[in-house]
Structure 1
Amino acid sequence: MTRTRRPAVAGTGRRARAWRLAAMFAIVAAMVLAGSGCTVIPVTGPLNLNEAGSNDPLSKPFQRMIAILPQKTWGLEQTLRGLQAAMAAYADDPTVLPQYLTPEARAKWNASGPVTVIEDDSEVVLPTAREEPGQEQKVTLKGRWVARINEDDSYVPTGGPWEGTFELVQVQGGGYRVKSLPNGLLLTHADVARAYRATNLYYLNGNTRDRLVVDRVRLRLRPTETYAHAILQRLLKNPTGALQGAVTTSFPPGTKILSIRSDERVVINLSGPIDTLDPSTEALLKAQIRYSLNKNEIAKGRTIEIQVDGEPYSVDQPNSDDQWLDDSSDTAYYVTKGAVHYMGKDGPSVAVPGPAGEPREGYSGYALSKDGTQIAAKTSTGISVAGLTAQGRWQEVIQGAKLTLPTWHRDGSLWTYDQENSVLLRYDPSSGKAPERVAAPKLTGLDVTRLRIARDGVRVVVMTGENTVQIGALTGEAGGTMLGNFQLLTTTTAGNKILDVAWSDDEHLLVLVGSKAGQTLNEINVGDGEVVGVPLNDVNDPVTSVAALDDRVLAEADTDQSTKIYELNQDRQTWTVKIESDAGSPLFPLG
Structure 2
Amino acid sequence: MRTIRQLGTAVALAVAVACAGTGCTVIQVSGPYTMNEASGGDPLSKPFQRLIATPPQPDWSPEQTLRGLQAAMAAFADDPTVLPQYLTADALKSWTPSGAVTVLDDLMQFDPPEPGGDEPVQRVTLKGRQVASIEEDDTYVPQAGNWARPFDLVKAREGGYRVNKLPDGLILTRSDVDRAYRPTKLYYLNGSTQDRIVVDNVRLRLKPEETYAKVILERLLKDPSGVLRGAATTAFPAGTKVQSVTSAEDERVVVNLSGPLDLLDLSGEDALMAQIRYSLNNNDVAKGRGISVLLDGEPYTSYEPNTDDLRWLDNGGNNAYYVSKGAVHSMSKEGPGSAVAGPAGQQRQGYSHFAISKQGGFVAAMTSTGISVAPLTQEGQWQEVIQGTDLTPPSWHRDGSLWTFDQKNRVVLRYDHAGKRGPEVVSAPGLEKLDVTRLRIARDGVRVAVTTGKNLAQTVQIGALTVTGGLALGNVRPLMGTEAGDEILDIAWRDDEHLLVLVQSKAQQILNEIDVGDGEVVEIPLKDRLEALAALNERVLAAADAEKAGSKILELNQDQSWTPKIDSDVEIPLFPLG
Q: Same fold (TM over 0.5)?
A: yes
- Superimposed CA distance per residue, residues 471-514 of structure 1 (whole angstroms, 9 cap, x where no aligned partner): 1111127x921111112211122232222111111111111122
Q: Any residues of structure 2 matched to 1:76-155 within 5 Å, and which?
A: 76-127=62-113, 129-155=114-140
Higher relative contact order (CA 8 A, sep 6+): 2
* Unmatched tracts of structure 1, length 5 or more: 1-34, 46-53
Cα shift at 1:173: 4.2
**Larger deviation: 362-371 or 493-502?**
493-502
**Are 1:161 and 2:146 an aligned pair?**
yes
- Superimposed CA distance per residue, residues 214-255 of structure 1 (whole angstroms, 9 cap, x where no aligned partner): 111100001111110000000011111111111111111111
- Superimposed CA distance per residue, residues 491-549 of structure 1 (whole angstroms, 9 cap, x where no aligned partner): 1222322221111111111111221221222212212222222222xx2x221121110
Superposition misfits of 4+ residues, deviation over 4 angstroms? none
2:20 is matched with none
Cα shift at 1:559: 4.1
- Equivalent residue for 1:383, pick from 371, 378, 387: 371
Q: Any residues of structure 2 matched to 1:536-547 within 5 Å, and which?
A: 536=526, 539=527, 541-547=528-534
- Superimposed CA distance per residue, residues 272-319 of structure 1 (whole angstroms, 9 cap, x where no aligned partner): 010222222111211111111011111111110111111111111113
Q: How far apart in 1 are the matches of 2:129 and 2:179?
A: 19
2:14 is matched with none
Cα shift at 1:195: 0.6
Asked if structure 2 preserves the Cα contact closer than 8 Å seen for 1:123 and 1:141, the reply is: yes
Cα shift at 1:444: 1.4
1:67 is matched with 53
Asked if structure 2 preserves the Cα contact closer than 8 Å seen for 1:450 and 1:463, the reply is: yes
2:34 is matched with 39
1:3 is matched with none
**Are 1:488 and 2:478 an aligned pair?**
yes
- Equivalent residue for 1:243, pick from 228, 233, 237: 228
Q: Any residues of structure 2 matched to 1:307-346 within 5 Å, and which?
A: 307-322=294-309, 323-346=311-334
2:525 is matched with 535
Cα shift at 1:207: 2.8
Corresponding letter in the other structure for 1:515: S
**Are 1:500 and 2:500 an aligned pair?**
no
**Are 1:288 and 2:275 an aligned pair?**
yes
- Superimposed CA distance per residue, residues 307-335 of structure 1 (whole angstroms, 9 cap, x where no aligned partner): 11111111111132220111121111111
What secondary structure does 1:285 align onto?
Answer: helix
Q: How far apart in 2 are the matches of 1:570 and 1:485?
A: 34
Cα shift at 1:36: 6.1
Q: Any residues of structure 2 matched to 1:189-588 within 5 Å, and which?
A: 189-263=174-248, 264-322=251-309, 323-466=311-454, 467-476=458-467, 480-536=470-526, 539=527, 541-560=528-547, 562-571=550-559, 573-588=560-575
Corresponding letter in the other structure for 1:254: G
Structure 1 residues 584 and 39, CA, compared in 2 at 3 Å: closer, same or farther?
Answer: farther
Asked if structure 2 preserves the Cα contact closer than 8 Å seen for 1:164 and 1:182, the reply is: no
Q: How far apart in 2 are the matches of 1:283 and 1:85?
A: 44
Asked if structure 1 preserves the Cα contact closer than 8 Å seen for 2:443 and 2:577, the reply is: yes
Q: How far apart in 2 are the matches of 1:566 and 1:169?
A: 67
Structure 1 residues 445 and 503, CA, compared in 2 at 3 Å: closer, same or farther?
Answer: same
What secondary structure does 2:291 align onto?
Answer: strand
What secondary structure does 1:286 align onto?
Answer: helix
Q: How far apart in 2 are the matches of 1:508 and 1:193?
A: 22
Asked if structure 2 preserves the Cα contact closer than 8 Å seen for 1:329 and 1:370, the reply is: yes
What secondary structure does 2:64 align onto?
Answer: helix
What secondary structure does 1:365 align onto?
Answer: strand
Q: How far apart in 2 are the matches of 1:327 and 1:97?
A: 49
What secondary structure does 2:92 align onto?
Answer: helix
What secondary structure does 2:533 align onto?
Answer: strand
Cα shift at 1:336: 1.6
What secondary structure does 2:331 align onto?
Answer: strand
Corresponding letter in the other structure for 1:320: T
Cα shift at 1:174: 2.8
What secondary structure does 2:189 align onto?
Answer: strand
What secondary structure does 2:420 align onto?
Answer: coil
Q: How far apart in 2 are the matches of 1:436 and 1:223?
A: 52
What secondary structure does 2:218 align onto?
Answer: helix
Cα shift at 1:360: 1.9
Q: How far apart in 2 are the matches of 1:577 and 1:137?
A: 67
Q: How far apart in 2 are the matches of 1:163 and 1:492?
A: 27
With structure 1 as the length reference, what TM-score do the two structures score? 0.89
**Larger deviation: 438-447 or 194-203?**
438-447
Asked if structure 2 preserves the Cα contact closer than 8 Å seen for 1:381 and 1:401, the reply is: yes
Q: How far apart in 1 are the matches of 2:294 and 2:418?
A: 42
Q: How far apart in 2 are the matches of 1:534 and 1:326?
A: 26
Corresponding letter in the other structure for 2:512: N
Structure 1 residues 258 and 272, CA, compared in 2 at 3 Å: closer, same or farther?
Answer: same
- Superimposed CA distance per residue, residues 530-571 of structure 1 (whole angstroms, 9 cap, x where no aligned partner): 2222222xx2x2211211101101111114363222111123
Corresponding letter in the other structure for 2:37: P
Asked if structure 1 preserves the Cα contact closer than 8 Å seen for 2:495 and 2:537, the reply is: yes
What secondary structure does 2:85 align onto?
Answer: helix
Q: How far apart in 2 are the matches of 1:144 and 1:568?
A: 36
Asked if structure 1 preserves the Cα contact closer than 8 Å seen for 2:230 and 2:467, the reply is: yes
**Larger deviation: 232-241 or 75-84?**
75-84
Cα shift at 1:581: 2.6
What secondary structure does 1:403 align onto?
Answer: coil
Q: How far apart in 2 are the matches of 1:395 and 1:515?
A: 38
Asked if structure 1 preserves the Cα contact closer than 8 Å seen for 2:193 and 2:399, the reply is: no
Asked if structure 2 preserves the Cα contact closer than 8 Å seen for 1:556 and 1:563, the reply is: yes
Corresponding letter in the other structure for 2:253: V
Query: Aligned-pair RMSD on alpha carbons?
Result: 1.6
Cα shift at 1:355: 1.7
Corresponding letter in the other structure for 1:565: I
Identity of aligned residues (%): 63
What secondary structure does 1:349 align onto?
Answer: coil
- Superimposed CA distance per residue, residues 340-380 of structure 1 (whole angstroms, 9 cap, x where no aligned partner): 11122221111212221222222111100011010001111
Q: How far apart in 2 are the matches of 1:174 and 1:480?
A: 61
Q: How far apart in 2 are the matches of 1:213 and 1:125?
A: 46
With structure 2 as the length reference, what TM-score do the two structures score? 0.91
Cα shift at 1:438: 1.2
2:22 is matched with none
Q: How far apart in 2 are the matches of 1:434 and 1:108?
A: 55
Q: How far apart in 1 are the matches of 2:143 and 2:383?
A: 46
**Are 1:180 and 2:175 an aligned pair?**
no
Corresponding letter in the other structure for 1:319: N
What secondary structure does 1:344 align onto?
Answer: coil
**Larger deviation: 195-204 or 311-320?**
311-320
